[in-house]
Chains A and B, each alone.
Chain A
Amino acid sequence: MWVVPTIPPALYLMLSGILFTIGVIGALTRRNAIVVFISIELMLNAVNLTFITLSRSLQSIDGVIFAFFVMAVAAAEAAVGLAIFVMLYRSKETINVDEVNLLKW
């Protein structure tokens, strides 16, 4: 019989920290709005991983429930966000964040 080696929660937390950092860097440096949005989703999923890890190590159900709420909200956000991208593309023919510069001081 297999014995699955238990991975300590600290490693999961480190993984989610790395994922979150990748998301932040991606959101700040990428130029295509879709990629920026994917990076933001990566941040949200890193948060979900944190919640689930903590929920398991604390033996409390709250974190898992929060993760579900985050997923639902992320889905709603994606629906609205992609619609906004389409609207912008119709009027400007681009969703490159550098070229969205009509408004500036």
Chain B
Amino acid sequence: MKIPEIDLYLIAPEIIITAFGFLVLLVDVFAPKGEKKGYLGFLGLIGVVIAFFYTIPLMGSGKTGFEGMITSDGFAVFFKITILIIAFLTLLISMGYAAREGIGFGEYYALILFATLGMMLMAAGTHLIVIFLGLETMSISIYILAGMLREDRRSAEAAFKYFLLGAFATGFLLYGIAFLYGATGSLYLKDIAAHIAAKKLFDHPMLLMSLTFLTIGFGFKIASVPFHMWTPDVYEGAPTSVTAFMATGVKAAGFSALIRVFFTALPGFRPDWTSIMWLIAVVTMTVGNIIAISQSNIKRMLAYSSIAHAGYILVAFVAGNQLGTSGILFYLMAYAFMNLGAFTCVILFGKKGEENTLVADYAGVGFKYPLLAASMTIFLLSMAGIPPLGGFMAKLYIFSAAVEAKFYWLAIFGVLNSAISVYYYLRVTVLMYFRESEREITGLQFSPAPVIALILALIGTFYMGIFPSNVLTFAQKSIAGLM
């Protein structure tokens, strides 16, 4: 019997994240009771940084290991870097937020690390079992994180809804995987593609069923319409730091798995899934943007905006060319910076027992807290796609990819939607600078950790807008092995 080669360097980042997750749990158990445990978040940060330095050497190696179940091609490495950045910023935000809201348990930080582990496995897996396990490690951690504010009813409700719908979606995803296995007899993505091409199974009913179920299963994770119904409720109810993590991390990991499965295993079905995804992209953008206009709660507004952003990314997914795929990678990284930044502003604008999450609460903030209002404006403008910010370059790449692939109508819908979105992003800005506050908001506390996260997010947003070519070149190199 051949013993499979075990290359631990290949999964070194994952091992480190896991080890630090357990370390956080252990330290939490032995720490004296009742004290504030911000240092646990610091421990998590150290873990993320070490994992980052073990991810960098994987770049460009393109190795596969564990019988080809795990790969370290550019695509996986790019997503791992994005996910680690998201985890780093989330931990920073959490250190202020958790102390304020009294989420004093170490499980919180450990679960963020475990969710990060799941996301990284989703990006690195080339075998359906690995992708499935990564997805579930991430999802189960996030079900718990969403319900972390145990005294808050809305948090419990968010966890409840996310759990039921997430488990429901998992059923569909698994049935899709089962059919894929049934038609091709393999769980390796490359073997599936090879089998389909060799046997010309392009109208095999099992594969068409599988395509439908996979679209549903992944559609839930990336929050595309019509599988988006959970998003606003869960984003509103969950602790804000977890919402930020969900909106960026879960979305990035969901897209990485979606792209990996569809582009590597099912390239033969491109005409089929292009037409489905075309429709989903248009509906997702439109529904997300139009409902966002009428929202009065800023977390719900950002939830609908994140649905709309999933639609923009699907535009590039439909285009499917080289510019489109690298555009998705660029978009997800830019989106991570601007969305985490916006949620950090939302967190900084609240205090214990007074979250101030209504859009109307933002009236007059520009006079009282000019720096906070300025950063919020920058993030919102970036999401709306105003130059010279990261969001603009991201949208530019995505829409030009759609034009290059001759999906003119899709590009037109995208640009129109982008114009609609400017309305509700600017509404907050107008409130902040041109209205008097109706209600005194005083005594905001700016703890150092979220402020550092805010500054890093600002730097990221500006960097990706002003020097986009560095990241784009990196993204283009990253997808070399994929297509």
Contacts and interface: CB of A to CB of B under 8 A. Distances in A.
Contact of B160 (A23, A54, A77, A100): A100
Interface of B: 128-129, 132-133, 136, 140, 143-144, 147, 150-151, 153-154, 156-161, 163-164, 167-168, 170-172, 174-175, 177-179, 181-182, 185-187, 232-233, 236-237, 291, 294-295, 300
B154 A103 contact: yes
Contacts, number: 124
A54 to B, nearest CB: 4
**What are the nearest 8 A-B pairs in CB distance?**
A43-B171, A103-B233, A54-B182, A50-B178, A47-B174, A58-B185, A88-B156, A73-B136
Contact of B185 (A60, A66, A83, A105): A60
A79 to B, nearest CB: 9
Contacts of A37: 164, 167
Given A62-B187, A69-B133, A47 B160 contact: no
Interface footprint category on A? 35 or more
Nearest to B294: A105
B373 to A, nearest CB: 26
Given A40-B168, A43-B171, A92 B185 contact: no
Contacts of B133: 69, 73
A80 B164 contact: no
Contacts of A87: 147, 150, 156, 159
Interface of A: 13, 20, 23-24, 27, 33, 36-37, 40, 43-44, 46-47, 50-51, 54, 58, 60, 62-63, 65-66, 69-70, 73, 76-77, 80-81, 83-85, 87-88, 91-92, 95, 97, 100, 102-105
A43 B158 CA distance: 23
Given A37-B167, A40-B171, A104-B233, A69 B157 contact: no
B174 A44 contact: yes
Contact of B157 (A62, A70, A80, A102): A102
A63 B128 CA distance: 11
A68 to B, nearest CB: 10
B143 A105 contact: no
B308 to A, nearest CB: 15
B43 to A, nearest CB: 24
Nearest to A42: B171
B133 to A, nearest CB: 7
A48 to B, nearest CB: 9
8 contacts: A20-B175, A43-B172, A58-B182, A77-B140, A81-B163, A81-B164, A103-B233, A103-B236
A66 B144 contact: no
A13 B419 CA distance: 49
A80 B143 contact: yes
B160 A66 contact: no
Contacts of B160: 33, 84-85, 88, 95, 100
B175 A102 contact: no
Contact of A50 (B140, B150, B182): B182
B227 to A, nearest CB: 13
A63 B181 contact: yes
Contacts of B237: 102-103
